Amino acid sequence: MSELCWADAGELARLIRDGEASAREVVQAHLDQVERVNPAVNAVVTLVAERALEEADEADKRWSARAEPLGPLHGVPIAHKDTHDTGGIRTTYGSPLLADNVPETDELVIERLRQAGAITIGKTNVPVFAAGSHTVNPVFGATRNPYDLNRSAGGSSGGAAAALACGMHPLADGSDLGGSLRNPGSFCNVVGLRPSPGRVPKWPDPLPWSPLGVQGPMARTVADVTLGLSVMAGPDPRAPSALYQRGSDVAGPLAADLTGLRVAWAPDLGGRVPVDPEVSEVLAAAPAVFAELGCEVEPACPDLTGADDAFRTLRAWMFELAHGEQAAAHPEAYSPQLLENIEHGRRLSGADVARAEAEHTAIYHRVREFFTEYDLLLAPVSQVPPFPVEWDWPTEVAGRPTPHYLDWMASSYLITITGCPAVSVPAGFTPGGLPIGLQIVGPHQGDLAILRAGHAFEQATRYGERRPSVAR
């Protein structure tokens, strides 16, 4: 039964489909793993075991009846990010204000996963309102890194990533504004995809035109991330900026010859971000891997002038819209950092937002032109290895002060503002055994291209197969 916890989502779906395992066996194995390992890492914060087993029994009945086609995730267990509304299951957003919140309906990404046959086993931990890349909140506490329980699991999808690394579920959903799928993927040695804006439509969404916040999949392999994306993606009439392609259009095949691809290597994003020497040392081997795969690799980076200002301005504007009224009524429920973001948004003028949008547009076109010369961009996911779990954030990177809680995440959020898809794939470990991820960025709407590149890198290196001792 324990072997089922380390099978890929695609393999689990095949085992159930071929009658080699029942949905109940698969779900029970993962519930047992949660019971055994979760007390140490605190990744799954709400568990619905009885409901999950009932749904597994129903899935087995449907398999026996053969009355209807089975979904691609039939019987596969998943715990959802605690900022994604789940009908009938507590969804707290990591906030005391919503500690007892139980939505009536699923939001779209959950609806699609469940329509594909996935079985919900619970919810995964997040920072308060998913703000920041360190998963800790006053409702459930901190999620700990499976590779070192004294370290952060990253965030904001930190609970999802830690649960994946520990075999508690094989596939996860998450969201990414400034790195919230990529950063915990890097910290926990799993794969996190930030899809192209509009690839995975969101509903409900108060800002459906904004390309900054996206939803997407995480998994232990690129193949499973691609499977998750194929289920999540596709247009929806309620999402006005949704891309028209169906999920099957980005489902593969992943095996591809990379010979001749032009690859840019930007170890510090053109000198824009400080990077810890341990991160740099691990990632220094990545360009050679792509060269061995037949790529033409050279140092290069798009011009990201104005990217920091554009991201921080538009993020503050979004945060004020989402939280301004509630934060004014309940300031005690917000961290000083989040209150500062909201206040920044409140002070913005129309001219400030217009300037940020103009910068955003200019960056889009410079990056578009960059990708006429290059097929892929390689960069760090995170500027630091997983840091002590007691810290709010690293206040120094490579000797350079990082006084703001966003400063150490720039290697991810500067890519956010480009509008490009990006995937974090396991790239090695520090001498102390901490995971480091490589960020592979592609041209606009080039999701399949980066998944193919990530798959090739994954198969060549096999770093993602190293399991944390706490989960063995």
The yes-or-no verdict on residue 179 having pLDDT over 70 is: yes
The two three-digit tokens of residue 372, written as one number: 């006429």
Does the annotation mark 196 as catalytic? no
Q: What is the pLDDT of residues 69-121, one digit of tens each?
A: 999 999 999 999 999 999 999 999 999 999 999 999 999 999 999 999 999 99
- What are the beta bridge partners of residue 218? 172, 192
The two three-digit tokens of residue 195, written as one number: 């899809």
Does the annotation mark 61 as catalytic? no
- Chain mean position to CA 100: 25
Tokens 């095996």: give the residue: 255
- DSSP 8-state symbol, 260: T
Query: Please, which pLDDT band fits residue 68 given cuts at 50, 70 and 90?
Result: confident
The yes-or-no verdict on residue 1 having pLDDT over 70 is: no
Burial class (CB within 10 angstroms; exposed 0-12, middle 13-18, buried 19+) of 245: middle
Separation CA 67–CA 61 (nearest Å): 10
**Exposure class string for 391-401: b at 16+ Cβ within 10 A, else e:** eebbeebbeee
Q: Which domains does the chain have, with CATH numbers?
A: 2-471 (3.90.1300.10)
* SS3 state at 124: strand
What lies within 8 Å, CB to CB, of 292 at 6+ separation is: 460
Separation CA 70–CA 12 (nearest Å): 13
**DSSP line for 53-70:** HHHHHHHHHHHHHT-SPP
pLDDT value of residue 370: 98
State which amino acid sits at residue 117. G
Burial class (CB within 10 angstroms; exposed 0-12, middle 13-18, buried 19+) of 432: exposed
CA-based nearest residue to 454, from 246, 205, 195: 195
Percent of the chain at pLDDT > 70 equals 100
Question: Which one of 22, 81, 133, 196 is the catalytic residue?
Answer: 81
Separation CA 471–CA 165 (nearest Å): 8
Question: Which one of 95, 175, 180, 230 is the catalytic residue?
Answer: 180
Q: Please compute the mean of the pLDDT values over residues 338-351 and round it to a whole number.
A: 97
Does the annotation mark 156 as catalytic? yes
Separation CA 164–CA 316 (nearest Å): 31
Lowest mean pLDDT among 59-68, 99-108, 172-181: 59-68
Question: Which one of 22, 133, 156, 411 is the catalytic residue?
Answer: 156
Report the alpha-carbon angle 418-424-428, nearest 5.
140
The yes-or-no verdict on residue 445 having pLDDT over 90 is: yes
Separation CA 116–CA 19 (nearest Å): 18
Q: What is the pLDDT of residues 125-165, one digit of tens each?
A: 999 999 999 999 999 999 999 999 999 999 999 999 999 99
Burial class (CB within 10 angstroms; exposed 0-12, middle 13-18, buried 19+) of 288: exposed
* SS3 state at 88: coil
Report the alpha-carbon angle 271-276-282, nearest 5.
100
**DSSP line for 139-187:** TTEEPEETTEEEEE--SSSHHHHHHHHTTS-SEEEEEESSSTTHHHHHH
Separation CA 135–CA 44 (nearest Å): 12
- DSSP 8-state symbol, 71: P
Separation CA 303–CA 242 (nearest Å): 27
Peptide bond into 157 cis (omega under 30): no
CA-based nearest residue to 376, from 253, 266, 235, 243: 266
Query: Please, which pLDDT band fits residue 31 given cuts at 50, 70 and 90?
Result: very high
* SS3 state at 472: coil
CA-based nearest residue to 223, from 58, 72, 392: 72
The two three-digit tokens of residue 456, written as one number: 């090739």
